[in-house]
Structure 1
Amino acid sequence: MTHITLSNVKLVALCVLVLLTSTLFGCGKNNLAQVFNEYQQRMANVLDTPFEANSNDGTITLNYPSKRELVSAIEIPQIDVKQFFALNKCEVNVLIAQRNTPLGRTQLPSVRYLYERNMLSALAHCIQLMPEQRVNLESWITQKRRILPLVWANLIQTSDEIINALGNNSDFITSLSSSDIQQTQSALTYLLQLKQHPQVILVPAELEQHLQQLSKLHLPAKAWRTQALMTNELTTTTTWLKQQNLLTKCPDGQASQNILYLKNVFTLWFIEKIQPIAGQLNNVQYTLLPLYQSMSQQPELTPQFRQFLAQHSQISFSAYQQAIQEHVLFWQQLFKHCSISPRVSTK
């Protein structure tokens, strides 16, 4: 006789659970697309009418502008050899020498920004050590202060970490912790404050930590791809539903069995699975929108970058809102006509 232990039973149960979960939701980045597909196909089964499924999850790209479009040209102050050697009492000449090495001339945007901030501090310190060089030093400080916002713009627009955060073309929002939003909000706030308060002491490790956090979470990109997918799928679904003449399935204002089945599909898939993701998406949007807007107002950032932000954070989000509102309105009108009162929310 075959004996089945309790551990075997638990293992089998776990495997079945994993299999069912995988069947319903897939894995990772395709969860949302599969939920929509199940939602659509179940309605099609109820109505015995084919639904042409979209495959937009594989084609949604955010089209982040190329670095070539975004790099701000920066005037490099010139210093002759005599002036360079005259600064032997302070650290400016060391920084200049480092900048003119092959490695120094290919600095990452964050390293270049740190260099410029260090140079400003060193120049101010040199005035105290070498007052006889005040005229030259103050002239260089003026030049450096003028170009610092452009160096900041290059940090924002061309850092690989920020490109990943804003333009990553994988993943959708499926589950989200409040810390993900808070960390993204904190990192974007920090980067904006670098521009708004350049006199504040800069800690290099803190800058790099915020950049790495943005890259790791790439929450803006996930939110924007999610809203694009939801806009496409909801628009297609609503259009298809309107073509089914469902009002005729409620003679005398009473729901037929098919309409009751559709109500169950709507509740199980839209309200319980799609709408919670929409709620998370709205939370991300309303938390980060003030930061996107503030960033868009910085004149040193290129028009291409600001248009990219506006397109996804405002224009595309408005299209998403309209798509979800029209979808919910369709169901509200249908259920009202058929004397059904389901749980419906536009939040």
Structure 2
Amino acid sequence: MLLVVTGCERNQVTDTLSEYQQRMANVLDTSFNAAMTSSSAPLVTLHYPNKRELTNRIKSTQLDVKAFYSLKQCDLNVLIAQRNTPLGRTQLPSVRYIYEREVLASLSRCKTLMPQHSELLDKWLEYKQLTLPLVWANLVQTSDETINAFSSNSDFFVSAPPTQLHETQSALSYLLALNDSDNSLANSSALESNLDLLSKAHLPARTWRTQAVLQNELNKTTQWLKKQNLHALCPDGKASQKIKYLKNVFTLFFIEKIQPIGSELNRVHYALMPFYSALSQHPRLASPFRQYINTHGNDGFDGYQNAIKNHVQFWQTLFKHCGISPRAN
């Protein structure tokens, strides 16, 4: 059932736009230039920055064998040993972040248990505190789950259940809060759960792709309509039958199908906008990532809204000239 619903959502936006364009062209006995088809929909693609641009290279702490064995009175040497296994050297960003938090906690404990090594432990603790924000940035920018949430090209957007939107808000809030000094939120189960919620819903990516296709196709449609000399179809300010048919097409497709999707887009955007702003302005995150979030989360929304506005204004002007109401009969 989930696959059926997802498939319907994937095609509904593009199919509606395509039929809207084709119906108007049929009424006017002409063709819609470069009409969109379902096969052209994947051209609306989100291009996420390359991982190599986003990954912070963090120098590993060097510790000689003698110092390593001197720490056997606390659990720090166990963590060090784990990190030096083949699996430990290829940790996922989320696993690495939790590991670094555990090291910091262990260093604090070791200082209490082994005051004779306080100089070594203090230097190590200072370095780990300095590099933790970089590990956090890698978590946000290079995790497979966040990449999917911000750049999945598999679906468009029709609506978001309140639970899904709330989960996305909570997950983004959780990731941002992890960068605070308080480590009470940092546990593996909570982190993986929030990443999973972000990935499965991928609300940012779905809304950004839908914004883009609406902007592209409505701008194209508005420009095409302006070339049709429709005002000539209202001699003496009276609507011809073709104009009445066009009004029906406008009502059936734009008012009843496209605008409700736009309303849902607006609702989700304004709910997630504070997180987009926080991510796009965060100094610890890489410039390409911040620019990407800003381009789609802020500029993309403005472009989509302008496309809606210009399209509606065209019809309002035409209907006023023709002396008819844009409302359904």
Q: Superposition pairs for residues 80-91 of structure 1, below 5 Å?
A: 80-91=64-75
Task: Describe the SS at the equivalent of 2:179.
Answer: helix
Q: Which residue of 2 aligns with 1:322?
A: 306
Which one-letter code corresponds to 1:79 in the other structure?
L
Moved more, 144-153 or 317-326: 317-326
Of stretches 280-289 and 230-239 in structure 1, the one that deviates more from structure 2 is: 280-289
**Residues of 2 paired with 1:82 and 1:213: CA distance?**
44
Q: What is the CA distance between 1:128 and its match in structure 2?
A: 1.4
Q: Which runs of 5+ in 2 are unaligned?
A: none
- Residue 258 of structure 2 aligns with which residue? 274
SS in 1 for 2:74: coil
Q: Partner of 2:275: helix, strand, or coil?
A: helix
The answer to whether the aligner puts 1:47 opposite 2:31 as a matched pair is no
For residue 201 of structure 1, report the CA deviation from its aligned partner.
Answer: 4.3
Residue 242 of structure 1 aligns with which residue?
Answer: 226
How far 1:59 moved relative to its partner? 0.9
Match of 1:335 in 2: 319
Paired position in structure 1 for 2:122:
138
Greater Cα offset, 162-171 or 196-205: 196-205
How far residue 257 of structure 1 moved from its aligned partner, in angstroms, is 1.1
How many residues end up aligned between the 2 structures?
A: 322
Q: What are the Cα deviations for residues 58-104 of structure 1, in whole angstroms up to 9, with x where unaligned?
A: 21111001111111111222111111111111110000000000000
Deviation string for 1:233-258 (max 9, x for gaps)? Answer: 10111011101111111111111111
Q: Is 1:152 paired with 2:133?
A: no
Tell me the distance in 2 between the aligned counterparts of 1:170 and 1:75: 37
Contact 2:42–2:153 (CA under 8 A) maintained in structure 1: no
1:78 partnered with 2:62: yes
Report the aligned-residue RMSD: 1.8
Please give the alpha-carbon distance, in whole angstroms, between the structure 2 residues aligned to 1:329 and 1:302. 39
Give, in whole Å, the separation in 1 of the partners of 2:160 and 2:222. 27
2: CA distance, partners of 1:197 / 1:218: 28
Cα pair 2:24 2:249 within 8 Å, conserved = yes
Partner of 1:34: 15
User: 1:84 & 1:116 partners in 2: Cα distance?
Assistant: 17
2:240 to 232, 242, 256: 256
**Distance between the aligned counterparts of 2:121 and 2:170, measured in 1?**
35
The 3 A distance-change label for structure 1 pair 270 and 201 is: closer
User: TM-score if structure 1 supplies the norm length?
Assistant: 0.89
**Equivalent residues of 1:75, 1:147 under 8 A apart:** no
Report what 1:190 is aligned to: 174
Shift of 1:32: 0.6
Unaligned runs of 5+ in 1: 1-21
Question: Partner residue of 1:125?
Answer: 109
How many Å separate the matches in 2 of 1:312 and 1:110? Answer: 25
What corresponds to 2:76 in structure 1?
A: 92
Could you tell me the percent identity over the aligned residues? 56
Equivalent-residue separation in structure 2 for 1:54 and 1:72 (angstroms)? 41
Distance (Å, rounded) in 2 between the aligned partners of 1:66 and 1:180: 28
Deviation for aligned residue 1:187: 0.5
d(CA) in 2 for partners of 1:262, 1:124: 72
Kindly provide the CA deviation profile for residues 271-317 of structure 1, in whole angstroms up to 9, marking residues without a partner as x. 11000111111111111111111112222211111111111112222
Report the 3-state secondary structure (helix = DSSP H, G, I; strand = E; otherwise coil) of the residue aligned with 2:44.
coil
Is the 1:254–1:339 contact (alpha carbons within 8 Å) kept by the matching residues of 2? yes
Q: Deviations over 1:97-116 (max 9, x none)?
A: 00000000000000000000
The whole-number CA distance in structure 2 between the counterparts of 1:82 and 1:198 is 33
| TM-score where L is the length of structure 2 | 0.94
